[in-house]
A and B are shown apart, each in its own frame.
Chain A
Amino acid sequence: MNKRIRNRLLYGTAVVMAAAAVTYACKDFLDQPAQGTVDEQTLATKAGVEGTLIAAYRSLDCSSSSAGSWGCAASNWVWGSVTSDDAYKGSNLGDQQPINDIETYYWSVGIADDYINQKWSQVYDGVARANATLRLLTKVRLEKPGEISNADAARIRGEALFLRAHYHFEAYRMWGKVPYYYETDTDFRKANDLSADSVAKLVIADLDTAITLLPAVQGDKGRANAWTARAYKGRVQVYRGDYAGALVTLRNVQTAGPYALETSFDRVWTGFTTLRNGPETILAFQASVRDGEPSGWNSNWGERLNFPHSGSYFGCCGFHQPAFNLVNFYQVDAAGLPVAMTSSAWNTPVPDSNFAGGMIRPVDPRLDWTVGRDNVPYKDWGLHNRGWIRDASYSGPYSPKKNVHERGCAAPCTSAAENNVGWQASQTNDVNIHIFRYADMLLLLAEAEVEAGVLENARAIVNQIRERAGQVAQGCGFGSGGSVDSALVANYPSCADSTSMTVALVQNPTLDSVSTPWAQYRIGLYPGPWTVQATARQAVRYERRLELAMEGQRFFDLRRWGAADSTITNYLASERVRIPYLALAAPYTARYRYYPIPTVQIELSRVGTTDRLCQNQGWGGTPCP
């Protein structure tokens, strides 16, 4: 190689090396941080811990990261209501067919499996968020001792533990044998080798810790306080069948706690801002609208299908329709007590099977706060009519009502509770979803009193609830304007003068403020005393159904009472003549005590060739021992 070539080679190599050196000189050239995100250290502050806790609350209802279907709803309307004798899936045959399978007890069909998985994913995301709060809190306390005061740290820890308990409780009452996750867990394929009752005990253990940590009063209405945790503990104790324990816990809440019943039943489920988080709220999903979220995710997302359909103001989608069986259950006798208490004929088909307004048959006034029926004002939206029902021949003529907001003003104004974005803004609202309310708790206490043989205490509670239920009935309301308004007045001329959504029930428990009433409301108190435990037990359970209907509790109640088999079997037997597709339901058997654990999660729990999660009995797979 001659010198010139060598020189040129050297020269060229030098240029290349120099160019390389220039880029290498920027040592951080390859340090390109992630964009649009923060690291853990940024959140290692009080604000970060508080925000992480906020996210743990958010999992109480579906969120934008969890909602593939409506199995994640805070209200459990699919799991606790549609599967019970309270409600049908509603809508029409073709829509959301996984719920058809769930309603007719074909829980292992693939599409039902995915719906069940929604619920599983939702509650365990809640657990994960609660645990993340606990981990971050520990880290900040360790690294920045002064950052969070001891009081705040205790409160945050208490809230996170409470939420962890709640989410595990949801899993427990769905599936029984479920894995329990702590903030120290790193293996997310834990076996579900605890018995269902052991899971409930772990829930109680977390609640006990939360009780010691939480303050008695919280500034923010949405937060759990010590009383929330105590009340919740009583709930879990009742679910366990530990009535003695529950009696102690819940009597304490009853006597020393901050809760009370709302003054009237219409104030329990409401979109009126001034009435939200009243004395009856123990734990509710705090829905919000018009909060800058472009799709309305923070509204009552899980309930958004459950409005009257396209003939109505709301437009969609006609799900969660009350059952004939439920409507019939609101019939009362001359004393205003449930017909069902004294007559087995309460559910025999009535002459007008549609039970429309104007047919005077004495009913509990709670019927028209729970069920939308034809020719009865629908809160203050005018008369419910058949055009609001998506397919009455499929699932009956009724609409859900509790989750629906009030307009609160004369048409055409828009309710402040209503959203203004997303698909069908009129069916997303900020009505809080009650997860646990005081009447629910009182009735759980009543159960405990009955089991303890203190029947009069139980009667007092039931009467307290009935008295409240007798305060007001559905009134005329504004109507929704135009033709519907005129229909309201045409049907009930006195509504021309009365725009109040509520009408007082005084003395004579009929709707005496309008000349031609849509209903004869009557509700009486149980005259004392109760002496037969079985009768008392039945009265408490009946009251529970009347009070909490359509709130997603019923099926869980039936299962823990062990009453599911006969009730559901009877329900299907009578309801199939009204709702033909219920004739297709699978016979109700012992395996329905728990929902099947989602197959997909069992598969995801696989380590090597072993599934760490076992399946509940009767659902195939490798059954739990």
Chain B
Amino acid sequence: MKEAEGFMNQKIIRVGAALGIGLLFALTLSTTAVAQETQVSGTVTATSGEPLSGVTVQVRGTGSRTVTDANGKYSLTAPPDGVLLFALIGYKGAARTIAGRTTIDVGLEPAVAVLEPVIVTGYTSQRRADITGAVSSVNVESATQQTSTSVLQRLDGRVPGVQVENSGSPGSRTTVRIRGVSSFQNNDPLLIVDGTPVQDTYLNWLNPNEIGSVQVLKDASAASIYGSRASNGVIIIETKRGRAGQRQLSLDVRTGFATPVRGYDDILILDALDYFQVMKVATENAGLAVKRNIYGDPNNPSVPDYIWPNDGVNQSCTLSRPTCSGLRVDSASYAVTADGTRLIMPGSPGTNWWKAVFGTGQIRDANLAISGGGEDNAYHVSFNYLDQEGTAAFTRFQRGGVRVNTTFHVNKVTIGENIALSRDRSYGGLDDGALGEGNIVGKNIFQQPVVPIYDINGYYASGKAVGLSNLTNPLKIADAGQFNIATNDRIFGNIFGSLDAGRSVVLNSRLGFNLGQGSFHGFTATTPENSEVTAVDGINENYSLFTVWTWSNTLTFTRAMNQHNLNVLLGQAASQGTSRFEAGSCAGLLNTDVDSRYIQDALCDPTTKNVTSSGGKSALLSLFGKADYNYGERYYLNFTLRRDGSSRFGPTNRWGTFPAIGMGWRLSRESFLRNSTLFSNAMLRFGWGITGNEQIPSGRIVSQFGGDRGDTFYDIGGTSTTIRPGFKTTAIGNPNLKWEENRSVNVGVDLEFKEGRGTFSVDVYRRNTNNLLFDPRTPATAGSAAPPIINIGKMTNNGFDFSVGYRGQLGAVTQYSVNFNGSHYKNEIVEIDGVATFFFGPGIIRDQNPIINQVGAPIGSFYGLVANGYYRDSADAAPFFADGARPGRIKFVDQPTVLDTIACPAAPGCVGLYRPDGSITGADRAVIGSPHPDFVAGLDLSVRHGNWDFSATLFGTFGNEIFNTQKYWDVFRYFDTNVRKDRLANSWTPTNQDAKYPKLDASDTWSRQFSSYWVEDGSYVRLRTLQIGYSLPPAMIRWIPVARVYLQAENLFTITGYSGLDPSLPAASVFGAAGDIRDQFRGVDQGTYPSNKTITIGISTTF
């Protein structure tokens, strides 16, 4: 099956390529139609209805052309089997076959996207102008100018109030946050794709090229129709649908090259002898003897010709050194042995480990779509193939997909479906973005420069000798993982039917389904070349299967009477999800060949076979209604009410009620503004509502019991063969669990001026989350069971977001548009119920915890000691000498933590009645930073000049901080890793007191304590996209009415003060018993796959 799929994928790309080549040939070929000519006339209008003058109308393949008049009318003679081409600068071209007709009316779409007049806002559509909630539309056209596999990654900077985080790994996970963070866990927005709800942080199965529109519902008055799960906002995605009329075939092909935005070779020492100097000073400053085993005499070091593994005698050999006489290296004496005693490496003058792993990755993307329709049907069928090589060796993402969207009208009944089939595959097993220290981007990139990539026999080398780090060769990891393939198959879509019952009453029924299966095959190689050897290899594979169905039924009623406009929606929905996961592993492979990696008794050590499975079930029932009323499009009022029942809660707390109200006042319809020449539209909006969150694992209302062979089972018989099952409480239940509620208030203003060319929209909001669901860590005295999930407290997000835009014209042939959006939010934990006012974050990194959640501070605040320069001398360090303070080490603030009513406030350092305790301990930690930005902005520029178009998107985030845990390695040299280039020159010395780094000292674990020294400003501005396009004039290509070639660049430059690889950090993949808790671990840099600088060329054609 896999081979067949791969073959199909290849075939698709070949077909695509063939079509592309065919198009190029077509450019040069042109024949003249010979036929009897007839008179054809018609009107050309914009999609908004107004007639368009000055449109060039041309008979394809001939010189026959005309221009529309002031009323948009044209008339010309053409052969009845010919094709008319319509072109107007600023609008997309169109082509129509004449097919014997004498009247052909055409609507042209603007080329520079403007807001769609009618948008889908949840079970119904609304005119943009009638919306009172906080709803933003995404400029889909602009979003296509990116190559990321998921549309979620293209929302970055395009929607005010929406934050997007992802890594540069192809196909990586995306974190989307709308208006801050409202929960301790599971803050992913609800996605509604063609009416079917789904929560998916990858969304790789959805081809971004198939997307017709994206709306973001940001406040409760807009989102509460989705009640449950809507508290994180809702993103409504509609895929492209066919339209009645001419069949259109479009082909988009593009290819490009990606490189990392920054590499460690920009940061770390590349020269082996430079690195030796760091090692030497660090060792000497620790009072230890400098090792001579690699570089020889510390005062006259040299890179050895060969480095021996640690055999206790020989460590290195430079042929000129006297100790090397008698030693020789030849391949005959070389073998890869289990104990690795013969692994000899050539000494490297400076290995560029970054370049060894990271380079250029190619991207290929082909899309073919056919759409059209008749009077009673419409169709859109598309095919997609994407092949994206990672910038890291052996990583790759491939996707192939088919989508079929059709609609049939039979009398008053409409039926149809939207179905997407897709398969994607990730190679290399790197998909969570934040790779920690165990993978190619993590600490393994910190190999010392003296270590070569390969040993003398061409096998991978690593730090086998004393003093080299005990890390694995990163290229080896990538190589070994190249067949670690994650495959995801998806069937997603819905079938729907509606009945126009007459008199504006419409019944709709929609059955949505989301069927997925995934698999992963992983391989762990032996590492005889490592200092810490892994001697047993192994494989692991897993399979997952899930099914989610949602059945919704709605009734809509629309009534317009004089100035009264009323829309009523009543509905009901049921949803059920089941999932199953099976995993197996086996160790000690007989043959490591990829074709032998199966869990079979004969292929690996059968006694190591292990299989586990798990699963989940959940269900949701909903009833909802909505009434929209407006008077003369002047006064707006709407009510929403939804009730949801969730299987995740106990019977008594199962049902949640989610009301919302929205109000609007169109000032521009009032007499005092009606005749305003400035404002063409002015609307005041107000919304209030409650949304819910139930995203916790099922079954947490009761305590769970179980165990694990490695946790509770025990060989009580003492024979090593009498392992007996043991049980413990694995999770503590809470029968009183109830819905987490999010109350939001939104006030907004929409302004349009200069006849709609200028727009301004601002929303100010307050979101209060109540009954927050979470499982704060319990004291260890409660045991190792997962703590109960409780409704723990309150959190607020206050903020605003705005966008301002202008579309203008310079001269006759130049149009431009500028859109700027910005947002700000302030997150604060207001209350934590129960006994504590804080709880720690989930992630321990090398024995330290960088995160706290504390009343008064935002979620996921950075936590640590407060650094305050360095200890200047012995006297300065003396008070904390016994704890480890020394001159040149980081000086920490001893916080006033001890209540001392007698000594305070007279005693030194007292704050109020609290005095410092005289020790630097964990009690002196404080909130030292926040990953939340003060301001996030996006700027969209678009210029069209004749056939040329130019667009750019800038993204900026300001005031957010990054906890740079990479300092463990590149500053503190934990595990003898490589360090930053300026580590030696900028270190503390008695004469360089204000240095950038503490004193180089190999035994300094004091300075390494998590402190504000690790926190950096994470602000940056990035040119997200830049595109230059040229629309080929219609006359140039005979068969192709519309063709556009373009060159685009992504992430061309980044302005930042951040010292790490990339300030654009993906959120780490962190899960707790309460679910996905990555929001408690954002802004923590653990070594990420950096973003890509991508240059792409492409061609879009329609024919």
Residues of chain A having any CB pair with chain B under 8 Å: 4-5, 8-9, 11-13, 15-16, 19-20, 23-24, 29-40, 42-43, 48, 50-58, 63-66, 68-69, 92-95, 97-98, 100-101, 105-106, 108-111, 113-115, 117, 120-121, 124-125, 127-129, 132, 179, 181, 188-190, 220-223, 273, 276-277, 284, 286-295, 297-298, 309-313, 315-317, 385-394, 417, 420-426, 430, 432, 580-581, 583-584, 586-587, 589, 596, 598-609, 619-623
Interface string of B604-635 (1 = CB under 8 A from A): 01011010011111111101000000000000
Are B501 and A316 in contact, with the CB atoms below 8 A? no
Are B587 and A35 in contact, with the CB atoms below 8 A? no
Q: Of A94, A292, A392, A600, which one neighbours B849 at CB under 8 angstroms?
A: A600
User: Quick one: closest A residue to B717, CB to CB?
Assistant: A220
Are B557 and A9 in contact, with the CB atoms below 8 A? yes
User: Quick one: closest B residue to A425, CB to CB?
Assistant: B536
Question: Which B residues, 488 to 510, have Cβ-Cβ distances below 8 Å to chain A?
Answer: 501-503, 505, 507, 509
User: Quick one: closest A residue to B574, CB to CB?
Assistant: A23
CB contacts (< 8 Å) of B291 on chain A: these are: 393
Are B837 and A52 in contact, with the CB atoms below 8 A? no
In angstroms, Cα B312 to Cα A91, docked, is 14
In angstroms, Cα B726 to Cα A125, docked, is 14
CB contacts (< 8 Å) of A273 on chain B: these are: 719-720
Binding stretch for chain A, among B266-274, B393-401, B776-784 = B776-784
Are A40 and B703 in contact, with the CB atoms below 8 A? yes
In angstroms, Cα B928 to Cα A206, docked, is 45
CB contacts (< 8 Å) of B623 on chain A: these are: 20
Interface string of B991-1006 (1 = CB under 8 A from A): 0000000000011011
Are A31 and B779 in contact, with the CB atoms below 8 A? no
Are A52 and B726 in contact, with the CB atoms below 8 A? yes
What's the nearest-Cβ distance from chain A to residue B225, in Å?
15
In angstroms, Cα B893 to Cα A436, docked, is 44
The residue among A100, A117, A128 with the most chain B CB atoms within 10 A of its own CB is A128
Are B720 and A311 in contact, with the CB atoms below 8 A? no
In angstroms, Cα B647 to Cα A31, docked, is 6
Would A599 and B779 be within 8 Å (CB), given that A33-B617, A315-B339 are in contact? Answer: no
In angstroms, Cα B647 to Cα A503, docked, is 69
Q: Of B570, B710, B837, which one neighbours A63 at CB under 8 angstroms?
A: B710
In angstroms, Cα B924 to Cα A604, docked, is 15
Are B919 and A222 in contact, with the CB atoms below 8 A? no
**Residue tally, chain B, CB below 8 Å to A:** 144
Residues of chain B having any CB pair with chain A under 8 Å: 286-289, 291, 309-313, 339-341, 464, 466-467, 469-470, 501-503, 505, 507, 509, 530-536, 538, 551, 553-555, 557, 570-572, 574, 576, 585, 587-588, 605, 607-608, 610, 613-621, 623, 645-648, 654, 697-700, 702-731, 777-785, 835-838, 840, 844, 846-849, 865, 881-884, 897-899, 917-924, 973-976, 1002-1003, 1005-1006, 1008-1010
Taking A32-B648, A287-B715 as given, write out 6 further A-B residue pairs in contact, using a Cβ cutoff of 8 Å, ordered by the A residue number: A23-B621, A29-B619, A34-B699, A55-B707, A108-B922, A581-B286
Are B848 and A114 in contact, with the CB atoms below 8 A? yes
Would A128 and B784 be within 8 Å (CB), given that A109-B884, A289-B720, A426-B535 are in contact? Answer: yes
Are B555 and A128 in contact, with the CB atoms below 8 A? no
CB contacts (< 8 Å) of B502 on chain A: these are: 4, 8
Are B919 and A620 in contact, with the CB atoms below 8 A? yes
In angstroms, Cα B723 to Cα A410, docked, is 28
The residue among A98, A129, A276, A619 with the most chain B CB atoms within 10 A of its own CB is A129
CB contacts (< 8 Å) of A56 on chain B: these are: 726
CB contacts (< 8 Å) of A596 on chain B: these are: 921
What's the nearest-Cβ distance from chain B to residue A300, in Å?
11
User: Quick one: closest A residue to B731, CB to CB?
Assistant: A37
What's the nearest-Cβ distance from chain A to residue B717, in Å?
5
Are B883 and A586 in contact, with the CB atoms below 8 A? yes
Would A179 and B781 be within 8 Å (CB), given that A100-B1005, A581-B288, A622-B899 are in contact? Answer: yes
Q: Of B533, B588, B730, which one neighbours A310 at CB under 8 angstroms?
A: B533
Are A220 and B716 in contact, with the CB atoms below 8 A? yes
What's the nearest-Cβ distance from chain B to residue A578, in Å?
12
Would A38 and B705 be within 8 Å (CB), given that A101-B884, A277-B718 are in contact? Answer: yes
6 A-B pairs with the lowest CB-CB distances in the bound complex, closest first: A34-B699, A386-B312, A128-B783, A599-B922, A297-B710, A620-B919
27 contacts between A and B (CB under 8 A): A12-B507, A16-B570, A19-B572, A32-B619, A37-B731, A52-B728, A55-B727, A56-B726, A58-B711, A65-B784, A92-B467, A94-B976, A115-B847, A221-B716, A221-B717, A286-B718, A293-B709, A298-B713, A310-B340, A386-B312, A417-B720, A421-B608, A425-B587, A581-B1003, A586-B884, A604-B840, A607-B836
CB contacts (< 8 Å) of B466 on chain A: these are: 92, 390-393
In angstroms, Cα B609 to Cα A292, docked, is 7
What's the nearest-Cβ distance from chain A to residue B451, in Å?
15
Are A15 and B555 in contact, with the CB atoms below 8 A? yes
CB contacts (< 8 Å) of B919 on chain A: these are: 108, 619-621
Are A386 and B720 in contact, with the CB atoms below 8 A? no
What's the nearest-Cβ distance from chain B to residue A533, in Å?
35
User: Quick one: closest A residue to B918, CB to CB?
Assistant: A620
Q: Of B310, B588, B717, which one neighbours A420 at CB under 8 angstroms?
A: B588
CB contacts (< 8 Å) of B838 on chain A: these are: 603, 606
In angstroms, Cα B784 to Cα A125, docked, is 6
CB contacts (< 8 Å) of A622 on chain B: these are: 897-899, 917
Are A32 and B698 in contact, with the CB atoms below 8 A? yes
CB contacts (< 8 Å) of A189 on chain B: these are: 779, 781, 835
What's the nearest-Cβ distance from chain B to residue A4, in Å?
6
Are B779 and A390 in contact, with the CB atoms below 8 A? no
Are A12 and B536 in contact, with the CB atoms below 8 A? no
CB contacts (< 8 Å) of A110 on chain B: these are: 847-848, 865, 922, 1009-1010
Would A601 and B779 be within 8 Å (CB), given that A64-B710, A286-B718 are in contact? Answer: yes
Q: Of B288, B614, B711, which one neighbours A36 at CB under 8 angstroms?
A: B614
Q: Of A117, A221, A581, which one neighbours B718 at CB under 8 angstroms?
A: A221
CB contacts (< 8 Å) of A621 on chain B: these are: 897-898, 917, 919, 921, 923
Would A586 and B535 be within 8 Å (CB), given that A113-B922, A286-B714 are in contact? Answer: no
Q: Of B614, B700, B724, B922, which one neighbours A51 at CB under 8 angstroms?
A: B724
Q: Of B503, B712, B840, B1010, which one neighbours A58 at CB under 8 angstroms?
A: B712
CB contacts (< 8 Å) of A426 on chain B: these are: 535
Would A604 and B503 be within 8 Å (CB), given that A32-B619, A420-B588 are in contact? Answer: no
CB contacts (< 8 Å) of A421 on chain B: these are: 536, 538, 587-588, 605, 608
Are B717 and A291 in contact, with the CB atoms below 8 A? no
Are B781 and A291 in contact, with the CB atoms below 8 A? no
Are A65 and B884 in contact, with the CB atoms below 8 A? no
Would A55 and B726 be within 8 Å (CB), given that A32-B618, A297-B711 are in contact? Answer: yes
CB contacts (< 8 Å) of A425 on chain B: these are: 535-536, 587
In angstroms, Cα B572 to Cα A121, docked, is 49
Are A607 and B835 in contact, with the CB atoms below 8 A? yes
Are B717 and A24 in contact, with the CB atoms below 8 A? no
User: Quick one: closest A residue to B540, CB to CB?
Assistant: A294
User: Quick one: closest B residue to A19, CB to CB?
Assistant: B553
Are A37 and B705 in contact, with the CB atoms below 8 A? yes
CB contacts (< 8 Å) of B615 on chain A: these are: 35-36
CB contacts (< 8 Å) of B618 on chain A: these are: 32
Are A220 and B722 in contact, with the CB atoms below 8 A? yes
The residue among B607, B779, B835, B883 with the most chain A CB atoms within 10 A of its own CB is B779
User: Quick one: closest A residue to B579, CB to CB?
Assistant: A35
CB contacts (< 8 Å) of A284 on chain B: these are: 718
CB contacts (< 8 Å) of A311 on chain B: these are: 309-312, 339, 341
The residue among A98, A293, A432 with the most chain B CB atoms within 10 A of its own CB is A293
Q: Of B503, B621, B717, which one neighbours A8 at CB under 8 angstroms?
A: B503
Q: Of A4, A30, A66, which one neighbours B654 at CB under 8 angstroms?
A: A30
Are B717 and A602 in contact, with the CB atoms below 8 A? no
In angstroms, Cα B725 to Cα A375, docked, is 44
User: Quick one: closest A residue to B532, CB to CB?
Assistant: A316
Are A9 and B505 in contact, with the CB atoms below 8 A? yes
CB contacts (< 8 Å) of B712 on chain A: these are: 51, 54-55, 58, 63
